[in-house]
Structure 1
Amino acid sequence: MASPLEYLKEERLKARLNRRDPEAFLEAHAWLAPKLYRHALLRLREKEAAEDVVQTAFLNAWEYLGDPEIKLTYVKAFFYRIVNNLIVDAIRGAVRERRAEEPVETLPVLTDSASRAVEEQFDLEQVLDELGEAKPFERDILMWRYLDGLSIKEISFLTEKTTNHIAVLIHRTLKALREKRTSA
């Protein structure tokens, strides 16, 4: 969960983006590009494809935000939605290799407490393998929440589901993963 200071920073950034401030867009890029890259890399498992997706996402966002009628509600969810759409396009467009050139262990270390808690319980490689067996929607929800650090509200906005639905889905999916681990 974001601290009040982080929340305030994001709200100010959102207001500046809604005013079409180019400096705010550069701040958003510096803040979100590493997170979006990590997300794309985990999904695509190809370094170059992940880089292309993130670059294209920021270009698309810049063009989209050029419309004065557009007002952002959630900054992170907006960028993650663009990246997810591009990931789907990339997967549909070509057959991808199963392993990335860069091993999963060398990905940037996450700092938020929720991610640390998940990492302490599970080995990241094993979790990714187990998540691969989960339904795609459930896998995406858990990745957004614990690997990408999105709030339940942001995931709700991104998926167009209620916050209650997302919270229950996270709880049930984690419970199923725990039960699977203990029975194995």
Structure 2
Amino acid sequence: MQDKYYKNQMAEYCRLFHAYYAKLHRYAFTMLKENSAAEDIVQTVFLKLWEKKGQLLGEEKVGSYLYKSTYNLSLNYIRDSKTRGKHKQDAAQAIDPLVDNTHDKILATDLSLRIRGVMEELPPQCRLIFLKSRVEGKKYAEIASELNISVKTIEVQIGKALKVFREKLKDYL
């Protein structure tokens, strides 16, 4: 007896599924604009219908239940999607400065080490002249009188140092 009851319920459920699935999918899709989300919602609606199989009687009552459930689940999905999007955006904004700042620090450290390495490769007089010009901020004439060499020699040495820097640090330029 119970077996026959179960078969009748299953037959009714299958009939409702075939009668309403496509309509409910279109209805959900018009709200969500996502095919997979619409499919998930309609499947959830039919799962809930199966769980309530003994409580809903009559075609009219079942039809309105299916549409109302689809509508409510679609609204919940939209609300949850907005919330998830907001959380993702907040997380991205919180992480971005940290990532950018860390990345910048790593690049600055790497560049600083490479500059020191290039400085060590310069001939001693060229390095001294370059340091006095670029680090100490002295003018060519000051350096020339301090080292007792011509301004032209200072210009040549700075040009030589800059050429070495351009060659060795070209991937940073």
TM-score by length of 1: 0.38
Structure 1 or 2: larger helix share? 2
Larger radius of gyration: 2
